Structure 1
Amino acid sequence: MSRSERSPLLLAGLLAAAGVAHFARPRTFDAIVPRGLPGTPRAWTYASGVAELALAAGIALPRTRKAAALTTAAFFVGVFPANVKMAVDWRHRPTPQKAAAYGRLPVQVPLVLWARGVAKGSEGRS
């Protein structure tokens, strides 16, 4: 299997694992939901978990891959405020935890680019 064939499946796997984690350990995600959002943090945790699972399924299927990958890129941009909140909330934690929280911020850029690359790589395929 070539790299271009593996890339969508790896991205789908990452999204699926993250989606499952939202249900397996929701408290972790509840804590990073920005306070200004309406509703409860748990509702947002579950909604984002469902979204990640749906995006994973969409990317895994060649017929829906391009649209799902573009939506995934937008999703990664949309969840960035949660990563910012985590970095702010964890600024006084021990160095390894603080580093992990700050490290999540720049990781969003390659994730967005990866999703866009998967979309571009799926053009003309079905």
Structure 2
Amino acid sequence: MLIIALFFLSGGIAHFVLTDFFIMAMPDYLGYHKELVLISGVFELLGAIGILVSKTRFLAGCGLIVLIIAVYPANINMALHPEQYPDIPALLLYIRLPLQFLFVWFVWWTITSEKRQSG
């Protein structure tokens, strides 16, 4: 849980510190780039906090899974346009696409582990 919380906490903060970078990752077909970046940053922060609290863990984890899926088009956009990210090796942009599914599984496994242990 702590790993997930730290990951999303740092990601959420980054949305406010590196807003322009995240805007650049947004697909052109989406509007309101800055607003979507800031909203996703807020939800990352809320999810990071919520996953640490046992009463909100499951809901926060489900929200984080939805968030991972919602930002997937931006990850695809980055992989399709690696020339816009010269500081990031193109291979990493492609490798992270399947890693997103692994991260969805990891969040799900984490938020359901208490239920598996108790029953």
Question: TM range, normalised to the smaller chain?
Answer: 0.7 to 0.9
For 1:23 and 1:95, locate their aligned partners in 2 and report how far apart those are by CA, in whole Å.
Answer: 20
Q: CA RMSD in A?
A: 2.1
Secondary structure of 1:12's counterpart equals: helix
For 2:89 and 2:21, locate their aligned partners in 1 and report how far apart those are by CA, in whole Å.
Answer: 13
Structure 1 pair 66–90 and aligned structure 2 pair: CA distance change class (3 A)? same
For 2:17 and 2:88, locate their aligned partners in 1 and report how far apart those are by CA, in whole Å.
Answer: 23
For 1:25 and 1:87, locate their aligned partners in 2 and report how far apart those are by CA, in whole Å.
Answer: 19
The normalised TM-score by structure 1 is 0.83
Written as runs of structure 1 = structure 2, the 5 A alignment for 1:55-74 is 55-74=47-66
2:81 maps to 1:89: yes
2:38 maps to 1:25: no
Secondary structure of 2:51's counterpart equals: helix
Gapped regions of structure 2 (runs ≥ 5): none
- Identity across aligned pairs (percent)? 28
Structure 1 pair 69–96 and aligned structure 2 pair: CA distance change class (3 A)? closer
Alignment match of 1:123 (pick from 111, 115, 118): 115
Secondary structure of 1:52's counterpart equals: helix
The 8 Å contact of residues 76 and 97 in structure 2, kept in 1 or not, is answered as: yes
Task: Give the aligned partner of residue 42 of structure 2.
Answer: 50
For 2:84 and 2:111, locate their aligned partners in 1 and report how far apart those are by CA, in whole Å.
Answer: 39
| Cα displacement (A) at 1:123 | 3.1
Alignment match of 1:13 (pick from 6, 10, 23): 6
* Letter of the 2:18 counterpart: R
For 2:88 and 2:39, locate their aligned partners in 1 and report how far apart those are by CA, in whole Å.
Answer: 29
Count residues with an aligned counterpart: 117
* Letter of the 2:113 counterpart: G
| Cα displacement (A) at 1:106 | 1.2
| Cα displacement (A) at 1:24 | 0.9
Single out whichever of 91-100 and 23-32 deviates more from structure 2.
91-100
| Cα displacement (A) at 1:93 | 6.6
The 8 Å contact of residues 92 and 98 in structure 1, kept in 2 or not, is answered as: no
Structure 1 pair 93–58 and aligned structure 2 pair: CA distance change class (3 A)? closer
The 8 Å contact of residues 66 and 123 in structure 1, kept in 2 or not, is answered as: no
